[in-house]
Structure 1
């Protein structure tokens, strides 16, 4: 990593508070998944924080998103492994995910939004969200429609059932509830 903390680096390139919160949420789920899977929590958290570092710069152009992010991170001195995962996370350009960190990022990117949407239905109380709640809402395609269910299901490639992912995601998001404006 550079001399700059990952969140500081993100804020150097991202101004939109909603996008920053999305990155914090994704990072929290990544860290929780790393803990569950015996992976490097700090590295996975960093990847989650930085995964959308180029989103404002590319203005959501999915032909460039991720590619530009990887370049930014290399320019900023971030280790190549992290930059490569960020570069490849755009599932519209890539998709041949085999590495656990890449699979986890796909799932975390989408499940974080689904779990937060469940919390918002409960008055912003993440502490009232259960895996059962998320499982029910997962089946409702119109609920949190932007959360890609197929990307969430990718976690099963790592031998993790969906309900376990929901539990791990809730635990991770609870750890950053204040930063996300949840209770």
Structure 2
């Protein structure tokens, strides 16, 4: 089964607004990239949204992350395809990703935070973030230091990096809410 409302499932296990925003952004990137790689945008978006469903449950334990997520999703009746993608996305446990879906999830998971950080530097204005901006910030290892640049570059055998970044920005902009001024 592909859940009609993956956000409802996500909200059963995730409380952190930041993590929820990351999952929504990752899902939007997956949806945006899917047509470029003959993927199913609806399916890919669901996988992106649910990829960190277990992160708070396992309290960041990378020996369990993804594995527990797969079990949670299977118990909820979610398809094995979605559950497996969630399990395999943990690059600390699984490597050698080769399918377009797995490579895109690796790249989307990493670039979502970089794009959001670029927008925040611009006062939350995602419309001011360009592929050139993101590529420049990718070179600065101190900027969004938790973003794994190699996982982003994993997409390059499948598509041009500029095309990926542009589509990823488009995906994030479709769901981004500009932070309110305090």
- Compute the TM-score of the two structures, normalised by the length of structure 2: 0.95
RMSD over aligned Cα atoms: 1.3
Shift of 1:35: 2.4
Distance change (3 Å), C-alpha of 1:3 and 1:14: same
SS in 1 for 2:155: helix
Equivalent pair of 1:2/1:76 in contact (CA under 8 Å): no
Q: In 2, Cα distance between the equivalents of 1:100 and 1:3? A: 21
Equivalent pair of 2:3/2:78 in contact (CA under 8 Å): no
Question: How many residues end up aligned between the 2 structures?
Answer: 180
1:36-89 Cα deviation digits (max 9, x unpaired):
222100000000000000000000000000000000000000000110000110
User: If each structure's helix is expressed as a fraction of its own residues, which one has the higher value?
Assistant: 1
Query: In structure 1, what is the equivalent of residue 118 of structure 2?
Result: 118
Query: In structure 1, what is the equivalent of residue 170 of structure 2?
Result: 171
Q: In 1, Cα distance between the equivalents of 2:66 and 2:121? A: 31
Query: In structure 2, what is the equivalent of residue 47 of structure 1?
Result: 47
The runs of 5 or more residues in structure 2 that have no matched partner are: none
2:154 matched to 1:154? yes
Equivalent pair of 1:71/1:83 in contact (CA under 8 Å): yes
Query: In structure 1, what is the equivalent of residue 16 of structure 2?
Result: 16
Shift of 1:98: 1.0
Shift of 1:165: 1.2
The runs of 5 or more residues in structure 1 that have no matched partner are: none
